[in-house]
Amino acid sequence: MQYIYNYFEVLFSLTADMAPYLLLGFLFAGILKVLVPPDLMTRYLGKSNTSSVINASLFGIPLPLCSCGVLPAGISLYKNGASKGSSVSFLISTPQTGVDSILVTWSMLGLPFAIIRPVVAFFTGIAGGLLTNKIDKTDDIVIPETKNKKKQKFSIKAILHYAFVEMVADIAKWLVVGLMIAALITVIVPDNFFTEFHLTGISGMLLILVVSIPLYICATSSVPIAAVLLLKGLSPGALLVFLMAGPATNAATITVIGKNLGKKTLIAYLSSLIFGSLLFGLIIDNFLPASWFAPLSILIGGHEHQLLPNWLIYSSTTALILMLLYSLYNSLQRKISITKNKKKQGMNPIIVEELTFSVEGMTCVKCKAKVETGISQMNNISSAVADNENDLLKVYGVNLSADAIAKKVEELGYEYKGVIK
């Protein structure tokens, strides 16, 4: 019983430590989303040269996109005329950081890590882009897709909706998972675990690298786990490897990059992350002061040095918990709705209408699920089946409206190309 109590106490403490910074990061993300024109990045990323690669890395660092979330954006850049090197630079630098992640890193790992993390993301992004340009010189020039895009107007409502509804929905599941894992590690893993088993230095880095590459974890939710690992004796260098490789890679990312950009580009992408993380990890462990990376007092129960007042911490924590619960509840409701639609389809095998649409931009399983869920919730639609590999969307229902479906597809962030049959 004591373990359960300790677990929830640690879980709440971790959540409280990061809540104010996370909410501020969400707000910055909303401002970026509304104020930065959608086509701004593609203007500066089209050439296979150093400046395009640097631009892509700079653009990617502040954007609040995680591993799977960055895939549609990165592949879209390539399809709209960006070079492979620029696309890889963007794909490497973006998921490692983000304004929300940087602020949470500052709150839980200290200012040095908050500065080092985007710097490392910047240089590894450039290295990956330049390596891609060097080893993959195929002349597969992509003709930019043209489309009349509406200008996004400044709107407080749009900023707040994206910041505290859409952004929270995107990371809620993985943020909760990350916090729960961090709390579990805190309770069950002995202090100084890594030092006792001599998993420090390069051995600790290699172990973390092997574990991190195939798993999905977003940049923000990786921070509480990293903070706990630091308390358990993991070296700061190995911690950096975890913060780089965890958010930037997973099985889905590897598959999508290989399919859309080619095997040579995939090799450049993984090589840059692996060798970059190990190199910077060794630099941190061997050349930077250890005092920069000491565990913060807030993580070990001492709140005497906290920078923020208690009222702000607890109000932020309450707001964050309510937003996470609301987002998870909505996600559960969508799944229930899809299940009901499938049962309804089974009870009524004769479907009045079936339409197939061409929809571009679905680059991963997450995109497929997003489109299916969004379309299935529309009136008169019994079910929707997306094929992300062939850019197809099949819709079943009664009195189907192609215009309404087209509008919904665009609202979900994908490109409607018309009815096929």
Four-way CATH pick for 348-419: 3.30.360.10, 1.10.287.3510, 3.30.70.100, 3.30.365.10:
3.30.70.100
Report the C-alpha gap between 296 and 305 in whole angstroms. 9
What is the overall mean pLDDT for the chain? 79
pLDDT tens-digit readout, 33-67:
777 665 665 577 767 788 889 999 998 888 776 65
Higher-pLDDT residue of 257 and 320 is 320
CATH 3.30.70.100 boundaries in the chain: 348-419
pLDDT at 146: 43
The pTM is what? Answer: 0.64
75-97: average pLDDT: 81
Which pLDDT does position 222 carry in this prediction? 81
**pLDDT attached to residue 304:** 42
pLDDT tens per residue, range 103-160: 888 888 888 999 999 999 999 999 999 999 998 766 444 444 444 444 555 688 888 8
pLDDT at 177 over 70: yes
Distance of alpha carbon 227 from alpha carbon 206, whole angstroms = 19
Can you tell me the distance from the alpha carbon of 300 to that of 143, in angstroms, rounded to the nearest whole number?
55
SS3 295: coil
* Cα(79)–Cα(67) distance, integer angstroms: 19
- What average pLDDT score do residues 227-245 get? 87
Identity of the highest mean pLDDT range in 248-252, 345-349, 391-395: 391-395
Cα–Cα distance between 73 and 98 in angstroms, integer?
14
Per-residue pLDDT for 339 more than 50? Answer: yes
Provide the pLDDT for residue 284. 94
Query: What distance in Å separates the CA atoms of residue 73 and residue 266, rounded to the nearest whole number?
Result: 17
Q: Which residue has the higher pLDDT, 246 or 92?
A: 92
